[in-house]
Protein backbone atom coordinates (compact mmCIF):
# COMPACT_ATOMS: atom_id res chain seq x y z
CA UNK A 1 0.00 0.00 0.00
CA UNK A 2 2.08 2.93 -1.28
CA UNK A 3 1.69 6.09 0.81
CA UNK A 4 2.92 9.62 0.05
CA UNK A 5 4.40 11.31 3.12
CA UNK A 6 6.57 14.45 3.32
CA UNK A 7 8.20 14.05 -0.07
CA UNK A 8 8.69 10.27 -0.05
CA UNK A 9 6.57 7.48 -1.53
CA UNK A 10 6.51 4.95 1.28
CA UNK A 11 6.10 1.18 1.10
CA UNK A 12 3.33 1.21 3.72
CA UNK A 13 1.03 3.54 5.67
CA UNK A 14 1.96 2.48 9.22
CA UNK A 15 4.37 3.58 11.94
CA UNK A 16 5.06 2.34 15.44
CA UNK A 17 4.79 5.43 17.63
CA UNK A 18 7.80 6.65 19.59
CA UNK A 19 8.98 4.57 22.54
CA UNK A 20 7.42 1.25 21.54
CA UNK A 21 9.41 -1.59 19.88
CA UNK A 22 11.55 0.55 17.52
CA UNK A 23 13.70 1.97 20.33
CA UNK A 24 17.13 0.73 19.20
CA UNK A 25 18.95 1.03 15.85
CA UNK A 26 19.24 -2.74 15.15
CA UNK A 27 15.47 -3.18 15.59
CA UNK A 28 14.79 -0.23 13.26
CA UNK A 29 17.09 -1.82 10.65
CA UNK A 30 15.21 -5.12 11.00
CA UNK A 31 11.95 -3.28 10.32
CA UNK A 32 13.51 -1.56 7.28
CA UNK A 33 14.66 -4.96 5.99
CA UNK A 34 11.64 -7.13 6.81
CA UNK A 35 8.44 -5.14 7.46
CA UNK A 36 7.61 -2.89 4.47
CA UNK A 37 4.10 -2.16 5.79
CA UNK A 38 5.75 0.08 8.40
CA UNK A 39 6.76 2.95 6.12
CA UNK A 40 7.62 5.43 8.89
CA UNK A 41 10.08 4.31 11.57
CA UNK A 42 9.80 6.51 14.66
CA UNK A 43 12.63 6.46 17.22
CA UNK A 44 12.41 6.73 21.00
CA UNK A 45 12.44 10.41 22.07
CA UNK A 46 15.98 11.78 22.38
CA UNK A 47 17.30 14.78 24.33
CA UNK A 48 20.76 16.36 24.57
CA UNK A 49 22.38 14.42 27.41
CA UNK A 50 21.87 10.72 28.30
CA UNK A 51 18.87 10.14 30.58
CA UNK A 52 18.35 7.09 32.82
CA UNK A 53 14.58 7.52 33.13
CA UNK A 54 12.55 6.10 36.01
CA UNK A 55 13.19 2.92 37.89
CA UNK A 56 10.92 -0.09 37.28
CA UNK A 57 7.99 -0.81 37.15
CA UNK A 58 7.66 1.45 34.10
CA UNK A 59 4.77 -0.24 32.24
CA UNK A 60 1.56 -1.80 33.57
CA UNK A 61 -1.41 -3.40 31.81
CA UNK A 62 -4.42 -2.48 33.97
CA UNK A 63 -6.99 -4.19 31.76
CA UNK A 64 -6.67 -6.17 28.50
CA UNK A 65 -5.11 -3.93 25.83
CA UNK A 66 -4.94 -0.90 28.18
CA UNK A 67 -1.61 0.32 29.58
CA UNK A 68 -0.12 3.00 31.79
CA UNK A 69 3.57 3.85 31.45
CA UNK A 70 6.17 6.12 32.97
CA UNK A 71 9.46 5.20 31.32
CA UNK A 72 10.86 8.66 32.03
CA UNK A 73 12.22 9.39 28.53
CA UNK A 74 15.23 7.07 28.86
CA UNK A 75 17.71 7.67 26.02
CA UNK A 76 21.46 7.68 25.36
CA UNK A 77 21.60 11.39 24.42
CA UNK A 78 21.74 13.13 21.04
CA UNK A 79 25.41 12.52 20.13
CA UNK A 80 25.38 8.77 20.86
CA UNK A 81 22.00 8.44 19.12
CA UNK A 82 23.34 10.27 16.03
CA UNK A 83 26.25 7.82 15.92
CA UNK A 84 23.92 4.78 16.17
CA UNK A 85 21.16 6.03 13.84
CA UNK A 86 23.78 7.28 11.36
CA UNK A 87 24.72 3.65 10.69
CA UNK A 88 21.24 2.73 9.45
CA UNK A 89 20.69 1.93 5.81
CA UNK A 90 17.40 3.77 5.12
CA UNK A 91 15.60 2.41 2.03
CA UNK A 92 14.28 5.01 -0.44
CA UNK A 93 10.68 4.08 0.37
CA UNK A 94 10.97 4.35 4.18
CA UNK A 95 11.03 7.44 6.41
CA UNK A 96 13.19 7.66 9.55
CA UNK A 97 11.37 10.01 11.92
CA UNK A 98 13.59 10.96 14.85
CA UNK A 99 11.68 11.98 17.98
CA UNK A 100 13.37 14.72 19.98
CA UNK A 101 12.66 16.70 23.13
CA UNK A 102 14.25 19.33 25.34
CA UNK A 103 13.68 21.36 28.47
CA UNK A 104 14.03 24.67 26.61
CA UNK A 105 13.82 26.07 23.09
CA UNK A 106 17.63 26.12 22.99
CA UNK A 107 17.84 22.40 23.86
CA UNK A 108 15.30 21.48 21.16
CA UNK A 109 17.38 23.40 18.61
CA UNK A 110 20.69 21.87 19.70
CA UNK A 111 19.28 18.32 19.62
CA UNK A 112 17.63 19.01 16.25
CA UNK A 113 20.92 20.16 14.71
CA UNK A 114 22.74 17.03 15.92
CA UNK A 115 20.08 14.57 14.70
CA UNK A 116 18.66 16.14 11.52
CA UNK A 117 21.60 14.96 9.36
CA UNK A 118 20.89 11.26 10.12
CA UNK A 119 17.08 11.18 9.63
CA UNK A 120 14.35 12.10 7.15
CA UNK A 121 12.43 14.25 9.63
CA UNK A 122 12.13 15.28 13.29
CA UNK A 123 9.15 14.62 15.53
CA UNK A 124 8.91 17.12 18.39
CA UNK A 125 7.75 15.43 21.59
CA UNK A 126 5.65 18.25 23.04
CA UNK A 127 3.34 15.82 24.75
CA UNK A 128 4.86 13.29 27.19
CA UNK A 129 2.62 13.60 30.29
CA UNK A 130 4.91 12.31 33.05
CA UNK A 131 8.36 13.95 32.80
CA UNK A 132 8.55 17.18 34.79
CA UNK A 133 9.63 20.19 32.69
CA UNK A 134 9.44 18.27 29.40
CA UNK A 135 6.88 17.21 26.82
CA UNK A 136 3.35 18.18 27.82
CA UNK A 137 4.70 20.81 30.24
CA UNK A 138 5.61 22.78 27.12
CA UNK A 139 3.04 21.38 24.70
CA UNK A 140 0.01 22.71 26.59
CA UNK A 141 1.00 26.31 25.82
CA UNK A 142 0.19 27.37 22.22
CA UNK A 143 2.83 30.13 22.21
CA UNK A 144 5.53 27.72 23.36
CA UNK A 145 4.47 25.14 20.74
CA UNK A 146 4.66 27.79 17.99
CA UNK A 147 8.04 29.11 19.20
CA UNK A 148 9.68 25.68 19.57
CA UNK A 149 8.42 24.59 16.15
CA UNK A 150 9.62 27.81 14.52
CA UNK A 151 13.03 27.66 16.20
CA UNK A 152 13.62 24.04 15.12
CA UNK A 153 12.36 24.76 11.59
CA UNK A 154 14.82 27.63 11.29
CA UNK A 155 17.70 25.42 12.43
CA UNK A 156 17.28 22.35 10.19
CA UNK A 157 16.34 21.53 6.61
CA UNK A 158 14.29 18.38 7.22
CA UNK A 159 10.51 18.22 7.86
CA UNK A 160 9.37 18.94 11.42
CA UNK A 161 6.41 17.09 12.98
CA UNK A 162 5.13 18.35 16.35
CA UNK A 163 3.49 15.55 18.39
CA UNK A 164 0.51 16.93 20.26
CA UNK A 165 -0.89 16.20 23.71
CA UNK A 166 -4.55 15.20 24.04
CA UNK A 167 -4.53 16.57 27.61
CA UNK A 168 -5.79 20.03 26.72
CA UNK A 169 -9.25 21.52 26.19
CA UNK A 170 -7.98 23.54 23.18
CA UNK A 171 -6.43 20.80 21.01
CA UNK A 172 -7.14 22.58 17.70
CA UNK A 173 -5.65 25.85 18.98
CA UNK A 174 -2.41 23.99 19.84
CA UNK A 175 -2.40 22.36 16.38
CA UNK A 176 -2.88 25.75 14.72
CA UNK A 177 0.00 27.17 16.79
CA UNK A 178 2.24 24.33 15.55
CA UNK A 179 1.22 25.10 11.96
CA UNK A 180 1.87 28.81 12.53
CA UNK A 181 5.38 27.82 13.66
CA UNK A 182 5.94 26.06 10.33
CA UNK A 183 5.07 22.42 11.09
CA UNK A 184 5.27 20.16 8.02
CA UNK A 185 2.99 17.52 9.54
CA UNK A 186 1.36 16.76 12.91
CA UNK A 187 1.29 13.65 15.09
CA UNK A 188 -1.83 13.11 17.20
CA UNK A 189 -1.82 11.86 19.95
CA UNK A 190 0.57 11.08 22.80
CA UNK A 191 -0.64 9.26 25.94
CA UNK A 192 -3.56 10.47 28.07
CA UNK A 193 -3.10 11.49 31.69
CA UNK A 194 -1.10 11.31 33.84
CA UNK A 195 -3.08 8.71 35.79
CA UNK A 196 -2.39 6.44 38.77
CA UNK A 197 -3.28 2.73 38.43
CA UNK A 198 -2.98 0.42 41.44
CA UNK A 199 -2.77 -3.32 42.08
CA UNK A 200 -3.03 -4.95 45.53
CA UNK A 201 -3.54 -1.44 46.93
CA UNK A 202 -0.22 -0.03 45.61
CA UNK A 203 0.38 2.27 42.62
CA UNK A 204 2.22 -0.04 40.23
CA UNK A 205 4.48 2.46 38.48
CA UNK A 206 7.60 3.50 40.39
CA UNK A 207 6.75 7.06 39.33
CA UNK A 208 3.21 6.37 40.63
CA UNK A 209 1.56 8.21 37.68
CA UNK A 210 1.98 7.66 33.96
CA UNK A 211 0.46 8.13 30.52
CA UNK A 212 -2.40 5.88 29.39
CA UNK A 213 -2.17 4.14 26.01
CA UNK A 214 -3.97 1.39 24.15
CA UNK A 215 -7.65 0.55 23.66
CA UNK A 216 -9.05 2.98 26.23
CA UNK A 217 -7.68 6.09 24.49
CA UNK A 218 -9.00 5.41 20.97
CA UNK A 219 -12.13 7.58 21.50
CA UNK A 220 -9.95 10.54 22.64
CA UNK A 221 -7.57 10.00 19.68
CA UNK A 222 -10.49 10.06 17.23
CA UNK A 223 -11.92 13.15 18.93
CA UNK A 224 -8.56 14.92 18.53
CA UNK A 225 -8.35 13.82 14.87
CA UNK A 226 -11.84 15.24 14.36
CA UNK A 227 -10.65 18.56 15.88
CA UNK A 228 -8.00 18.74 13.15
CA UNK A 229 -10.51 18.46 10.30
CA UNK A 230 -10.06 21.01 7.53
CA UNK A 231 -6.40 21.71 8.37
CA UNK A 232 -4.27 21.40 5.25
CA UNK A 233 -1.43 19.31 6.67
CA UNK A 234 -0.29 15.65 6.75
CA UNK A 235 -1.22 13.82 9.95
CA UNK A 236 0.12 10.78 11.78
CA UNK A 237 -2.82 9.41 13.76
CA UNK A 238 -2.26 7.12 16.74
CA UNK A 239 -3.74 6.16 20.09
CA UNK A 240 -5.49 2.87 20.76
CA UNK A 241 -5.49 1.56 17.19
CA UNK A 242 -5.52 -2.25 16.97
CA UNK A 243 -7.84 -3.33 14.13
CA UNK A 244 -8.60 -2.58 10.49
CA UNK A 245 -11.86 -0.94 11.61
CA UNK A 246 -9.83 1.42 13.85
CA UNK A 247 -7.45 2.20 10.97
CA UNK A 248 -10.38 3.02 8.68
CA UNK A 249 -11.81 5.38 11.31
CA UNK A 250 -8.43 7.13 11.63
CA UNK A 251 -8.22 7.45 7.84
CA UNK A 252 -11.76 8.82 7.66
CA UNK A 253 -10.72 11.50 10.17
CA UNK A 254 -7.76 12.44 7.94
CA UNK A 255 -4.77 10.36 9.09
CA UNK A 256 -2.17 9.82 6.33
CA UNK A 257 0.02 7.54 8.45
CA UNK A 258 -1.37 5.39 11.26
CA UNK A 259 0.62 4.55 14.41
CA UNK A 260 0.08 1.25 16.21
CA UNK A 261 1.99 0.80 19.47
CA UNK A 262 0.36 -0.74 22.54
CA UNK A 263 -1.46 -3.35 20.42
CA UNK A 264 1.94 -4.94 19.71
CA UNK A 265 2.76 -5.69 23.36
CA UNK A 266 3.77 -9.34 23.80
CA UNK A 267 4.46 -10.01 20.09
CA UNK A 268 7.82 -11.15 18.74
CA UNK A 269 9.20 -9.29 15.68
CA UNK A 270 8.02 -12.14 13.45
CA UNK A 271 4.54 -11.90 14.95
CA UNK A 272 4.57 -8.11 14.40
CA UNK A 273 5.52 -8.68 10.73
CA UNK A 274 2.64 -11.13 10.34
CA UNK A 275 0.22 -8.75 12.12
CA UNK A 276 0.99 -5.89 9.68
CA UNK A 277 0.60 -8.24 6.69
CA UNK A 278 -2.82 -9.41 7.91
CA UNK A 279 -3.86 -5.84 8.75
CA UNK A 280 -2.92 -4.65 5.26
CA UNK A 281 -4.90 -7.51 3.71
CA UNK A 282 -7.86 -6.59 5.96
CA UNK A 283 -7.77 -3.07 4.53
CA UNK A 284 -7.56 -4.35 0.95
CA UNK A 285 -10.25 -7.04 1.32
CA UNK A 286 -12.56 -5.36 3.87
CA UNK A 287 -11.95 -8.19 6.35
CA UNK A 288 -11.25 -8.11 10.12
CA UNK A 289 -8.58 -10.72 10.94
CA UNK A 290 -5.69 -8.68 12.40
CA UNK A 291 -7.20 -7.91 15.78
CA UNK A 292 -7.38 -11.65 16.59
CA UNK A 293 -3.55 -11.57 16.57
CA UNK A 294 -3.35 -8.94 19.35
CA UNK A 295 -2.29 -10.64 22.59
CA UNK A 296 -4.99 -9.43 24.93
CA UNK A 297 -4.21 -12.40 27.21
CA UNK A 298 -0.61 -11.32 27.90
CA UNK A 299 -0.30 -11.76 31.68
CA UNK A 300 1.25 -8.78 33.51
CA UNK A 301 -0.59 -9.32 36.81
CA UNK A 302 1.22 -9.68 40.12
CA UNK A 303 0.71 -12.53 42.63
CA UNK A 304 1.43 -11.81 46.31
CA UNK A 305 4.19 -13.67 48.19
CA UNK A 306 5.43 -13.05 51.75
CA UNK A 307 9.10 -13.22 52.68
CA UNK A 308 9.71 -15.80 55.42
CA UNK A 309 13.53 -15.97 55.48
CA UNK A 310 16.39 -13.70 54.39
CA UNK A 311 19.64 -15.63 54.73
CA UNK A 312 22.93 -13.76 54.16
CA UNK A 313 25.45 -16.10 52.43
CA UNK A 314 28.32 -13.58 52.27
CA UNK A 315 28.78 -9.80 52.11
CA UNK A 316 26.94 -9.37 48.83
CA UNK A 317 24.77 -12.47 48.38
CA UNK A 318 21.56 -13.46 50.16
CA UNK A 319 18.87 -16.09 49.67
CA UNK A 320 15.25 -15.00 49.97
CA UNK A 321 12.65 -17.66 50.76
CA UNK A 322 8.96 -16.90 50.41
CA UNK A 323 5.86 -18.52 51.90
CA UNK A 324 4.35 -20.14 48.80
CA UNK A 325 4.92 -21.92 45.53
CA UNK A 326 5.58 -19.96 42.32
CA UNK A 327 5.28 -22.18 39.23
CA UNK A 328 8.62 -21.19 37.66
CA UNK A 329 10.67 -23.79 35.79
CA UNK A 330 14.42 -24.05 35.17
CA UNK A 331 15.45 -21.51 32.51
CA UNK A 332 12.51 -19.21 33.19
CA UNK A 333 12.57 -16.02 35.24
CA UNK A 334 10.10 -13.86 37.15
CA UNK A 335 9.84 -10.16 38.02
CA UNK A 336 9.93 -9.45 41.77
CA UNK A 337 8.13 -6.24 42.79
CA UNK A 338 8.43 -4.71 46.24
CA UNK A 339 6.18 -1.63 46.28
CA UNK A 340 8.19 1.51 47.04
CA UNK A 341 11.51 -0.25 46.32
CA UNK A 342 11.12 -1.29 42.69
CA UNK A 343 11.02 -4.33 40.43
CA UNK A 344 13.71 -6.48 38.74
CA UNK A 345 14.00 -9.86 36.98
CA UNK A 346 15.28 -12.90 38.89
CA UNK A 347 15.82 -16.59 38.26
CA UNK A 348 14.47 -19.02 40.85
CA UNK A 349 16.51 -21.15 43.17
CA UNK A 350 13.50 -23.35 43.90
CA UNK A 351 9.82 -23.17 43.03
CA UNK A 352 8.20 -24.61 46.19
CA UNK A 353 8.54 -22.78 48.44
CA UNK A 354 9.73 -20.07 46.05
CA UNK A 355 13.28 -18.88 46.75
CA UNK A 356 15.89 -16.87 44.90
CA UNK A 357 19.53 -15.91 45.30
CA UNK A 358 20.35 -12.21 45.11
CA UNK A 359 23.71 -10.62 44.38
CA UNK A 360 24.05 -7.00 45.48
CA UNK A 361 24.67 -4.95 42.33
CA UNK A 362 22.68 -1.74 42.71
CA UNK A 363 19.72 0.05 44.27
CA UNK A 364 17.07 -2.70 44.32
CA UNK A 365 19.35 -5.64 45.16
CA UNK A 366 20.99 -3.55 47.92
CA UNK A 367 17.53 -3.06 49.47
CA UNK A 368 16.80 -6.81 49.16
CA UNK A 369 19.90 -7.62 51.28
CA UNK A 370 18.09 -6.30 54.36
CA UNK A 371 14.48 -7.07 53.41
CA UNK A 372 12.64 -8.04 56.61
CA UNK A 373 10.75 -11.37 56.92
CA UNK A 374 7.04 -10.60 56.78
CA UNK A 375 7.47 -8.18 53.87
CA UNK A 376 4.72 -8.46 51.23
CA UNK A 377 6.17 -8.71 47.74
CA UNK A 378 4.69 -9.57 44.35
CA UNK A 379 5.75 -11.78 41.48
CA UNK A 380 4.80 -11.65 37.82
CA UNK A 381 5.68 -14.22 35.23
CA UNK A 382 7.20 -16.72 34.69
CA UNK A 383 8.77 -15.47 31.46
CA UNK A 384 11.44 -16.96 29.20
CA UNK A 385 11.79 -20.46 27.86
CA UNK A 386 11.96 -23.45 30.19
CA UNK A 387 14.79 -25.91 29.65
CA UNK A 388 14.70 -29.65 30.24
CA UNK A 389 18.12 -30.87 31.35
CA UNK A 390 18.82 -34.56 30.56
CA UNK A 391 18.65 -36.40 33.89
CA UNK A 392 18.89 -39.91 35.37
CA UNK A 393 16.57 -40.69 38.30
CA UNK A 394 19.44 -40.65 40.83
CA UNK A 395 20.69 -37.18 39.80
CA UNK A 396 17.23 -35.69 39.25
CA UNK A 397 17.14 -33.56 42.39
CA UNK A 398 20.75 -32.33 42.04
CA UNK A 399 20.43 -31.43 38.34
CA UNK A 400 17.10 -29.73 38.89
CA UNK A 401 18.56 -27.46 41.53
CA UNK A 402 21.70 -26.82 39.45
CA UNK A 403 19.64 -25.73 36.47
CA UNK A 404 17.95 -23.08 38.62
CA UNK A 405 21.35 -21.78 39.67
CA UNK A 406 22.77 -21.94 36.18
CA UNK A 407 21.33 -18.73 34.64
CA UNK A 408 22.40 -16.85 37.74
CA UNK A 409 25.99 -18.15 37.69
CA UNK A 410 26.18 -17.72 33.90
CA UNK A 411 25.25 -14.04 34.21
CA UNK A 412 27.33 -13.08 37.19
CA UNK A 413 30.43 -15.26 37.49
Catalytic residue set: 128
Find the Cα–Cα–Cα–Cα dihedral 217, 222, 224, 229, rounded to 10°: 170
Write out 158-200 in H/E/C secondary structure.
Answer: CCEEEEECCCCCCHHHHHHHHHHCCCCEEEECCCEEEEECEEC
CB of 384 to ligand FMN, least distance (A): 21
Query: Which one of ligand FAD, ligand FMN, none interacts with residue 99, CB within 5 to 8 A by kind?
Result: ligand FMN
Query: Which one of ligand FMN, ligand FAD, none interacts with residue 39, CB within 5 to 8 A by kind?
Result: none
Distance CA 411, CA 235 (A): 45
Q: Is 40 in the site for ligand FMN (CB under 6 A)?
A: no
Find the Cα–Cα–Cα–Cα dihedral 204, 208, 209, 213, rounded to 10°: -20
B/e letters for 367-383, b = 16+ CB within 10 Å, e = fewer, are ebbebeeebebbbbbbe
Query: Which one of ligand FAD, ligand FMN, none interacts with residue 73, CB within 5 to 8 A by kind?
Result: ligand FMN
* Pure H helices in 78-141: 78-85, 105-115, 136-139
In the three-class reduction of DSSP (H, G, I as helix; E, B as strand; rest coil), residue 9 is classed as: strand
What is the CA angle 102-80-35, rounded to 5? 95
Q: Is 15 in the site for ligand FMN (CB under 6 A)?
A: no
**What is the footprint of ligand FAD within residues 49-88 (CB under 6 A)?**
52
CB of 34 to ligand FMN, least distance (A): 21
Q: Is 354 in the site for ligand FAD (CB under 6 A)?
A: no
Q: Is 408 in the site for ligand FAD (CB under 6 A)?
A: yes
**Binding-residue pattern over the window 240 to 279 for ligand FAD, x denoting contact by CB under 6 A:** ----------------------------------------
Q: Is 362 in the site for ligand FAD (CB under 6 A)?
A: yes
C-alpha dist (Å) from residue 189 to 109, 186, 286, 349, 388: 22, 9, 26, 44, 46
Q: Is 72 in the site for ligand FMN (CB under 6 A)?
A: no
Q: Is 159 in the site for ligand FMN (CB under 6 A)?
A: no
Q: Is 403 in the site for ligand FAD (CB under 6 A)?
A: no
Query: CB-hemisphere CA count at 13 Å for 142?
Result: 12
Q: Which of 72, 65, 59 is nearest to 337 (CA)?
A: 59
Q: Which of 15, 149, 213, 253 binds ligand FMN (CB under 6 A)?
A: 213
Closest residue to ligand FMN, Cβ-based? 19
Query: Which one of ligand FAD, ligand FMN, none interacts with residue 262, CB within 5 to 8 A by kind?
Result: ligand FMN
Contacting positions for ligand FMN (CB under 6 A)? 17-20, 44-45, 59, 67, 69, 71, 73, 99, 125, 128, 163, 190-191, 213-214, 217, 238-241, 259-262
Amino acid sequence: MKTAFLGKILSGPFTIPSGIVTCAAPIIQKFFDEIPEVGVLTTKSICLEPRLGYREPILHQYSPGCFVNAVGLTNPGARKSAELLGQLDIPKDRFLLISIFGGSIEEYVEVAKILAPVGDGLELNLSCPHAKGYGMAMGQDPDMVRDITAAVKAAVDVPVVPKLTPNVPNFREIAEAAIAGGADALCAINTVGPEKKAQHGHPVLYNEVGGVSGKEILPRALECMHDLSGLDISIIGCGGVSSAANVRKMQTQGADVIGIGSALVGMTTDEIAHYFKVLTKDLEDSTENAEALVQYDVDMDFSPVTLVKNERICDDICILTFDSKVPVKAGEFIFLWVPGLGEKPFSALADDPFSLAVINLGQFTEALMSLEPGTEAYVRGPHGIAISPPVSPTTLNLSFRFSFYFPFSFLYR
